[in-house]
Structure 1
Amino acid sequence: MNSYQTLSAYYDRFTEDVGYAVWASFFERLFARESVVPALILDLACGTGSLTKLLADRGYEMIGVDASPEMLMQAMNNTMDCEPRPLFLHQRMEELDLYGTVDVCLCCLDSINYVTDPAALQRAFERVYLFLEPKTGLFVFDINTPEKFARIDGESFVREDEDVFCVWQAAVEGALCAYQFDIFERSGAQWSRAQETHEERIYSLAELMGMLEKAGFTEIRTYGDQSFAPVQGGEDRIYFTARKRD
């Protein structure tokens, strides 16, 4: 589950519409809003390093952490021209172990939902808290909302280009949403098929706020998708910010 053993090679091709530059600019506005001037940023669950690279190019020192060695290989290749190059670590969120503290921890693209064990997510929040800079550390993450999972339940989605075709289906059962990926790649006249299954957990705002508070975070805020508007209900994605105030 959630290994990206096959999907990692195609991930960037299928997420060209994500708009990482828009995300990076939103985070910089958020830093200003929170009166944080970060030097060192942790990109937790960094994937192929697209956001890591953009922020590194904007002058931030970056650490990227991911549980998938295949995704980290892509991230290392994608950031070869960065100076200084980001540091990449192969770790699960709940086992986060850094060499020191960071000013900001970002965890993007519903990576929090990918932690399907609530106890593991609680440990992850505690590890993030431990490695944030005291008094000023900022934790920022987004989630897919329960409303989004209800909307995509039973739906199928397709991504394709000249030589690769990917279709995935979403199925919600209880608090879990399973994605079944079928990837077809052409080599000459032949097509090969690979399959992966990923899972995300549906977390409520109240659950996540309780976990953050238990981990020690304060000043917990939620925002609509890439905006500073309060959550109205019905959003597909919302953002959390939380502070470490020792």
Structure 2
Amino acid sequence: MESYTSFAEVYDVFMDDVPYEEWAHYLCGLLEKYQVKAEGVIVDLGCGTGTMTEILSREGFDMIGVDNSGEMLAIAIQKKQESGRDILYLLQNMQELELYSTADAVVSVCDSVNYVTNETELLETFRRVNHFLEPGGVFIFDFNTEHKYRDVIGERTIAECREDCSFIWDNYYYEDEQINEYELNLFIQADREHDENLYRKFHEVHYQKGYTLSVIRELIESSGLAFVTAYDAFTEEAPTAESERIYVIARESGKDVM
């Protein structure tokens, strides 16, 4: 079942507690540390509704947003029209990334990498990132750890009720496959003007893979990228067994024939 179709409509509503500005500040610090020029071309891989893409554009970067959900990109384009920012959006799967030119950096945040649940496809994603980076270009991405899915989220049900939409999120983790499944039932107000008591119900199922840093590093190095370092999210400390989200820094390291 395709993800982020109906959920796209209310994604920003339910994500309004995510500190995007703080995350962007951390990400910009990493870009500066690893010498990505302020006016450089950056690809936001798995950009969703474009919130982070907009912030990075505001910071002066020349942004390209890539996502495989047309519904999410439609909202990103609405934001672009409202802000007037010069952002190019592309409807593509990560593992089929195809750009018109190389980029100074590629970033991928909000655990977008975890949605690539097949290691062969994630390897291809990394290969394509390496191919479209400028020589020495930087790839910065985060991922949720196996520990987070298994020990923190686990078998849980989460529910949230807002004025015009609600959801029930049933979470399951399959340890043998290292797959996290969450089943999402959405209730979205259908016609606020004429009948505020009428809601539409939508159902989506999402899958993410719980990766370990050792697997991620192996895939990076197999792809042609050079592994630089990894951080416990939003710090510059080394990851630990208790890390729930890890940031990885890699660099372009020569090109294979695609």
Q: Which TM-score bucket, shorter chain as reference?
A: over 0.9
**Aligned with 1:106: secondary structure?**
strand
Q: Which residue of 1 aligns with 2:119?
A: 118
Q: Which residue of 2 aligns with 1:158?
A: 159
Runs of 4 or more off by more than 4 Å in structure 1?
none
Q: Which residue of 2 aligns with 1:208?
A: 216
Matches within 5 A, 1:125-164: 125-135=126-136, 137-150=137-150, 151-164=152-165
**1:243 & 1:2 partners in 2: Cα distance?**
32
Give the one of 221, 240, 250 matched to 1:242. 250
**Aligned with 1:5: secondary structure?**
coil
Q: Which residue of 2 aligns with 1:88?
A: 89
Quick check: 1:209–1:220 contact (8 Å CA) kept in 2?
A: no
Give the one of 218, 222, 226 matched to 1:218. 226
* TM-align CA RMSD: 1.3
**1:63 & 1:96 partners in 2: Cα distance?**
12
Quick check: 1:170–1:179 contact (8 Å CA) kept in 2?
A: yes
**2:49 & 2:43 partners in 1: Cα distance?**
14
- 1:166 Cα deviation from its structure 2 partner: 0.8
State the TM-score, normalized to the length of structure 2: 0.91
State the TM-score, normalized to the length of structure 1: 0.96
- 1:2 Cα deviation from its structure 2 partner: 4.6
Matches within 5 A, 1:168-183: 168-173=169-174, 174=176, 175-183=178-186
**1:128 & 1:164 partners in 2: Cα distance?**
37
Q: Which residue of 2 aligns with 1:10?
A: 10
**1:54 & 1:208 partners in 2: Cα distance?**
27
In structure 2, what residue type is equivalent to 1:131? F
Q: Which residue of 1 aligns with 2:45?
A: 44
**Aligned with 2:54: secondary structure?**
helix
Unaligned runs of 5+ in 1: none
Quick check: 2:95–2:121 contact (8 Å CA) kept in 1?
A: yes
- 1:15 Cα deviation from its structure 2 partner: 0.4
Quick check: 2:157–2:171 contact (8 Å CA) kept in 1?
A: yes
- Percent identity between the aligned chains? 33
Quick check: 2:221–2:227 contact (8 Å CA) kept in 1?
A: no
**2:245 & 2:161 partners in 1: Cα distance?**
25
In structure 1, what residue type is equivalent to 2:28? E
**2:231 & 2:2 partners in 1: Cα distance?**
27
